[in-house]
Chains A and B, each alone.
Chain A
């Protein structure tokens, strides 16, 4: 059963002669537990697609279904709440909250939702990602790779339906990239997560179970 599917997803920026079709009707599905990479060049529309999948931005037309829910039928507040429960994000620039320490950053989505964290599960994630000695640190004191591992831990913490990763290794050197990616894949399997990763790097994309290519706002293969 598909955990994520899009239906004729379109996004148009501007109007008239300035009209840009960032997404020109995108249809695809991701099965539960899959690790999918979406590959495209700069300007291909892959970031826009990721924003749509994550409910960060609304499409001009078409829809996205996550875990059986047509997400754009939700109002802003409800969508935010749906997002923090069902979708975990990993960004290129980590986007950790600078004023919270590592542990607090990881727990943030769960606590924002008012839930009490599943301590054994969280501990498991922390150990798997090798963060146990860094829990009290502030993000600024960590290396890029460490920050990205915190971001992955945060994404996993709320046991989301899918994890969306946007160029997760874009700011990292190749050695660290490999490490982070392996960790992402391993944890994904271990905690049976569905992962959708966006990248422009073919080599990195090859680590995924399936590669979807996008160009000029359309799926090409």
Chain B
């Protein structure tokens, strides 16, 4: 095709584009709405992904891609300029304080250059990083508060810390500080490099521990894929390896940031997420398709004459297709930017709502270009898909049609109408309803698509309503076993695995002293207790979590006692109050309360209360032995040699096994089989579990570490106690946290509101699309029939009758959508109920059509009002004027 004819095609499409103002406004709105839907989806998705990564990075303590560890000065200089490395940072570890006030904290004293500090989130909110050659240091607010130093720049502080085993006391001048982040494990004190060197010189530090005084090279690559591969490539290039010391002296330890690894892991493996996303995308494309297709379809069929005429003059089908494509592109260029801006705003709101319901994900708003590129791309694809058929239709228009038809009219009439004999001629003639129905039949695809498009929003609204209505608070609160439960904060955090925090007895006694409170402690023991189980059982239990080789390795490491293996076991010591909350499967718990040598075996069940029959090996009446280990020893499984306590087995590569050296075996009888409700369990799966009475537990285990204290409260004291708990443990700075019936209720409503917000948001936008579609269908229908109406009026149809006909048309549209939605809901409802009850354990399905019935009058009103107004606009001009009007 010639290039030079593009100009006239452009001219033609722009000219006819300008002539179709109403269509353009509606299309731009439709494209903008579609783009809004995509942008919201992308914004929420990308923000969650970003937030997820950020939380990981904070747990890891940084977001550099990886690091080469413990390098000499020469190695550092050699590696840092490798072309694979985009940016690098330097860190020199200096020491760690261990004495008061830091005995419970992990604090690292080191030098970090600007990059490293930034990548480790060590960015001063006040002041700056230390300057070389000064006595400055920067640290976080927690270290300062532990030291009892006011966070004022210029204040001096003194710390005693161990440098490669040597103790030193140093005084620094505070030059900057930042907030302490409780997700990050470590606190940091940053010194200038010069100061670290002074300390090393003063103490004669050689780096015996393999860490102190060496350099860490933290690196950023071009992107986060293949981090490990890149690091190994760099090492190879310079003649190093990261396999292990036993592979040669050229060993350099490397670390890959698992924050990126797990993010990628999530991306690539979570098929259900991908499927769900794809489904939502398809839904949006479909929504957009329904309206944009309809608009173009209507527009083309109204312009049949125009396209036919162009054809007669010699415009080819391909040129006509280009005219339409160009218009679609112009409309997208207007609609998409509007949609992106509005969509991002809505997306930010939605992200806030969704993220607040997700555990362990930081609330961040992604500004990734992927959001805007992705949303634009998908919107364009939607527009392109929507225009395909109308384009083809326009290109196929026969020139003869254009010459022949002076009026946009029906393509295909019924082949033959039976001629009526005189007696058969209906008395009433054409009724308004019949005419309206016939009119809707003129462009069947327009009618059908408009109706579907309108129904769509109501279906979404109704599903949202069914969902929100079906979330059953009673079911949800069933799992709450006590009015209150208090423990160390990490116990309640889903994202933390270290739940061994101990609740001090003083806290419990304070609570017990409150008026109207009755509760019980649960003591914990998760290590240094063993059970004796068959290899087969160990394999079965661990086979779910690892490969066959891993399980073999695990079994091998366990001490063999007779034909059994000694495996770790988790024990609960529960006071009567808590014991009473346990659902008993078999046997009874009274023997546990009396304090004899009895235990209950803990079985598990799922959210729906279905017992996992094989989740524990112990049966009622079994005699079992628990071994309490005081000390272990390491030995060589091949030679039997027992290793000394000082030997570092992880470095020497010698084979080793562990076994109990000093221990006590206690025999118990299984008096009951129980489940421990999630809210009062360890809240993670670790090992087989047994429950004991509190006294037996304390006597045998020798520990009295409290896991949590659970209690009920007299009804009239609840508010008072809730307030007390809020003050005591509710603050962000408290080490403790608590859950109450009230906080559970709030969680429930929060969860439900998330669905209501997201669902009604979607219904609102899709609803606007539907109504827009309807508006377009009605408007274009009236505009195209201007002359026809004038004709009808000239032969005696009154304006009132004409209005009646148009309103009837609108009502039929609206009414059909309501009927279709009702049918869909009634048919799909039972199907959806199974799916939903499978997804949410606290869901009870109730069929409801209330939203449809509420929306129905609104729809019918719209169905009546839009035609009325549109016609009013047309009727401004006289019948004669309209009859004369040339096309």
Contact = CB atoms under 8 A, between A and B. Distances in A.
Interface of A: 51, 54, 56-57, 76-77, 80-81, 83-85, 89, 91, 93, 95, 97-100, 104, 107-109, 111-116, 140, 154, 158, 166
B313 A89 contact: yes
B5 A112 contact: yes
Interface string B305-328: 010011111111111000000000
B311 A80 contact: yes
Nearest to A93: B406
A4 to B, nearest CB: 17
Contacts of A112: 5, 8-9, 313-316, 319
B317 A97 contact: no
Nearest to B8: A111
Nearest to A110: B8
A114 B403 CA distance: 25
B741 to A, nearest CB: 70
B2 interface: yes
Contacts of A100: 11-12, 15
A203 to B, nearest CB: 24
Nearest to A56: B399
Given A104-B15, A111-B5, A116-B4, 7 more contacts: A56-B403, A98-B19, A98-B887, A107-B8, A114-B2, A114-B4, A115-B4
A28 to B, nearest CB: 21
B312 A89 contact: yes
B4 A81 contact: no
Interface string B1-30: 111110111011001101100000000000
A99 B305 CA distance: 13
B314 A80 contact: yes
B886 interface: yes
Nearest to A101: B15
Nearest to B886: A140
B1 A77 contact: no
B316 A81 contact: yes
A111 B7 contact: yes
Contacts of B887: 98
B5 to A, nearest CB: 4
Contact of A114 (B3, B306, B318, B398): B3
Nearest to A94: B886
Contact of A84 (B1, B309, B314, B403): B314
B877 to A, nearest CB: 15
A116 B318 CA distance: 20
A109 B313 contact: yes
Contacts of B12: 97, 99-100, 108
16 contacts: A54-B312, A80-B311, A80-B315, A80-B317, A83-B314, A84-B314, A84-B315, A91-B312, A97-B306, A98-B887, A99-B16, A99-B18, A107-B8, A109-B314, A114-B1, A116-B4
B4 A154 contact: no
B400 interface: yes
A95 B18 contact: no
Q: Is the interface of B mostly helix, strand, loop or mixed?
A: helix
Nearest to B399: A56
Contact of A51 (B11, B318, B400): B400
A153 to B, nearest CB: 13
A76 B320 CA distance: 14
Contacts of A114: 1-5
B310 A91 contact: no
B298 interface: no
A81 B400 CA distance: 16
A85 B5 CA distance: 14
Contacts of B316: 77, 80-81, 112
B317 A56 contact: no
B402 interface: yes
B71 to A, nearest CB: 68
A217 B77 CA distance: 97
A104 B431 CA distance: 47
A100 B2 CA distance: 22
B576 to A, nearest CB: 88
A175 B5 CA distance: 39
Give the one of A54, A77, A95, A97 with max B CB within 10 A.
A95
A95 B310 CA distance: 9
A127 to B, nearest CB: 22
Given A97-B310, A112-B8, A113-B5, A77 B400 contact: no
B313 A84 contact: yes
B885 to A, nearest CB: 9
Contacts of B400: 51, 56-57
Contacts of B4: 111, 114-116
A111 B15 CA distance: 15
Contact of B402 (A54, A80, A81, A95): A95
A85 B316 CA distance: 12
B403 A91 contact: yes
B317 to A, nearest CB: 6
B217 to A, nearest CB: 63
Contacts of A85: 314
5 shortest A-B CB distances, which residue pairs? A84-B314, A114-B2, A111-B8, A114-B5, A99-B15
Contacts of B402: 95
A77 B317 contact: yes
Nearest to A95: B309
Given A95-B403, A98-B19, A108-B8, A113 B398 contact: no
Given A56-B312, A57-B398, A77-B317, A99 B8 contact: no
B783 to A, nearest CB: 14
A113 B306 CA distance: 18
Contacts of B306: 97-98
Contacts of B403: 51, 56, 91, 95, 166
Contacts of B7: 111
A77 B318 contact: yes
A204 B403 CA distance: 22
B56 to A, nearest CB: 58
Nearest to A115: B4
Nearest to A105: B313
A100 to B, nearest CB: 6
Contacts of B314: 80-81, 83-85, 109, 112-113, 158
A76 B317 contact: yes
A84 B7 CA distance: 17
Nearest to B404: A47
Contacts of A76: 317
A30 B306 CA distance: 31
A53 B310 CA distance: 18
A145 B234 CA distance: 84
A111 B317 CA distance: 15
Nearest to B5: A114
B465 to A, nearest CB: 47
